[in-house]
Amino acid sequence: MNSITIKNPIVWGDIPDPSVIRHEETFYMVSTSMHSMPGCPIMKSQNLKDWEIVNYVFDTLENNDAHNLIDGENIYGKGSWAASLRFHIDTFYVCFSSNDMNQTYIYQTKDLENGEWERYVIKGLLHDPSLLFENESVYVIYGNGEIWIKELTNDAKTIKQDGINQKLFETEHEGIGLRCEGCHAYKLNGYYYLFFIEWPSKGSARRRQLCYRSKELLGPYERRVILDDDVGYHNKGVAQGGIVDSQQGEWFAILFQDHDAVGRIPIVVPVTWKEHWPVFGVDGAVPEEFEAQLPKSESHSLVKSDEFNNSENKLALNWQWNHNPDNTLWSLTDRPNYLRLKTGYLTTSVADARNTLTQRTEGPSCSGITKLDFKRMKPGDRAGLVALQYHYGWIGIQVQNNSEYYVSMCVNNTDRTENFIESLRYMADQIFLKIDFNFEDSKDTANFYYSPDGEKWMQIGQEVKLYYTLDHFMGCRMGLFNYATKQIGGIADFDYFHYM
């Protein structure tokens, strides 16, 4: 087999809390998706660098006001956290917790790419869980600072009533801002290995990767810092994730690194073994590129353009809704070759608007462009293109009470109200909209443009500084939206979305 060059980051986009396995020749990865629906994207690769989305674990997680963005309720920064992906015998498993529901979920399927998922719910929050299968026994190891183990029934559907249920150990706390969490558990060559992330407040003061190991499941465990490196990027540590081997016997770790507004991006680290300890990187550092005995494969962007020319109401897998959609209020078939978004609820901001359709942004720079037909919008309606995170900005059309159209650029105030930076009277019934993003060296800016013909672009409003905050806990996304402030029933038709 010829070698390939893996260059970090493998994706300059938001793929937080990666969990990777290899099944036969194929690598699979699941990632945190929080309030985006469908949730828990399943991605696959033949070589750990070229990934494509092939499925999601669930279409919606729960059906309540917060998940549906109703009556001011939301699950920004909540929803599904830190999923664990595993395969055992003939079944794939995904396990994660949801702090807004105070529950832990286990989904199971025989067919990871196309199959139906069976869902099981465990009451209580098992923070950042990792499944561990050993013969006929199944365990979940979880926690933050205090690391616990619970035994599950052998079908991995619920807690085993008379099984193991105890604290394994407590992790270091002196000089630590964020204690160990994000467990990834393995049984290899007679050892139990537990990988964690922690964030010291002293010393390097950045995220780092730890490994605890023991020959006994219940310990005692030895501890070692196995990676403390930022790849020369603003003291942003590379950490949180697990390990996987290739068919050729090479080992790799798949971790993430904070890249500010674009999100937490995936990094592949070569792994070797010394005296039964995993050794991450080269001389303690993450290589910017390295050779691996893995096959070449086709590259698939995780963000894609869309002409909306589907013959059925089925979106490309690259799209996710902001919270649960109302499936009665969008269509790809009502007007062929257009995405139609209808208003069905009154709100005052895009952050609270249902049926905002989103994709990731990617660094070092990218642009999103759409063409909007707004002649069926109603007074009070607002529709367009948004750079979506807590400190968002959008460009689009707003309709005044006298049915006058204005192209507007708007930002979010700190009190969750919208501030219109600039509004200009617009006389046509369709418009081209564009947002340019710059994530180079964490510049993290968005600029907003409109055009009557898609050729000559005019900037409007102001440059928006983007920030990664825990309010949304997600990298900036591009979104298409339509919401009503006065009456429902308005329609916005999007001709296409182009990603550049």
For residue 441, how far is the Cα from the chain centroid? 21
Name, in order, each residue with C-beta under 8 angstroms of 309's C-beta and a sequence gap of 6 or more.
336, 337
The 3-state DSSP class for residue 133 equals strand
Q: What are phi and psi of 441, to 5 degrees?
A: 55, 35
The 3-state DSSP class for residue 457 equals coil
- CA proximity to 31, closest of 99, 83, 96, 93: 83
Beta-ladder partners of 100: none
Active site residue: 14, 17, 230, 258, which one? 17
- Cα separation, 304 vs 466, whole angstroms: 22
9 preceded by cis ω (within 30°)? yes
Question: 148 near 166, Cβ under 8 Å?
Answer: yes
**Any catalytic annotation for residue 463?**
no
Active site residue: 181, 198, 352, 495, which one? 181
**Any catalytic annotation for residue 155?**
no
Question: 51 near 298, Cβ under 8 Å?
Answer: no
200 preceded by cis ω (within 30°)? no
Q: How many CB atoms lie within 10 A of CB 252?
A: 24
What does 31-56 look like in DSSP terms, one character per residue? ---BTEESEEEEEEESSSSS-EEEEE
84 exposed, middle or buried (CB, 10 Å; 0-12, 13-18, 19+)?
Answer: buried
- CA proximity to 29, closest of 357, 300, 388: 300
Question: 404 near 374, Cβ under 8 Å?
Answer: no
SS3 per residue for 357-374: EEEECECCEEEEEEEEEC
One-letter amino acid of 252: F
Q: List active site positions.
A: 17, 181
